[in-house]
Amino acid sequence: MTFDDQLKSLASLAGVRDAEFGDEHVRWEVYQKVVDLAEARDQLRAALRLEPVLSLAAAVVVLAFEHVPVGERAGWVGALKEEVRAFPERRMAELEILEACRAGELAPASVDLDEWSDWLQRRVAQTATDPAVLELLAERGRTKAIRAAATERRQ
């Protein structure tokens, strides 16, 4: 199946008609609409392998992480060309940390906040339940907003 055929099929699933697929913004709209459809995932991954705008493909993979089972994330990264895998790989690792925090399975002693992105620190500050993790972020979070969010949640 050609890239155009894949896009037309995905667009049909997304309810997008008569779209100009040469426009990456139109493709992004289609990708956003189908990423949550389990029946479209294999086809979407196949289309991403052929997506000419590599940063767009990487953005879709990162978006997919929160819609697909944890065990499938690496397969999504594998759909990308090597030169754009670094950010999705990092985000995949960050989501593992975030999920461990949400489940109360992260040992605060193992945390190196200098290695955490602002995105991860914000998300953990907003969702963690472990008082020790929240205390760590309240004291040493990178930004004032992160420290404030952690402080508010630990009280």
pLDDT tens string 99-136: 998 888 888 878 899 999 999 999 999 998 889 999 99
Identity of the residue numbered 47: A
d(CA 76, CA 99): 18
Alpha carbon distances (Å) from 78 to 2, 45, 84: 19, 9, 10
The pLDDT tens digits of the residues spanning 46-79 come to 999 999 999 999 999 999 998 999 999 999 999 9
d(CA 77, CA 92): 9
Q: Once rounded to an integer, what is the mean pLDDT over residues 26-30?
A: 94
pLDDT for res 120: 96
- Contact partners, residue 82, CB within 8 Å, separation at least 6: none
pLDDT for res 32: 95
d(CA 19, CA 141): 44
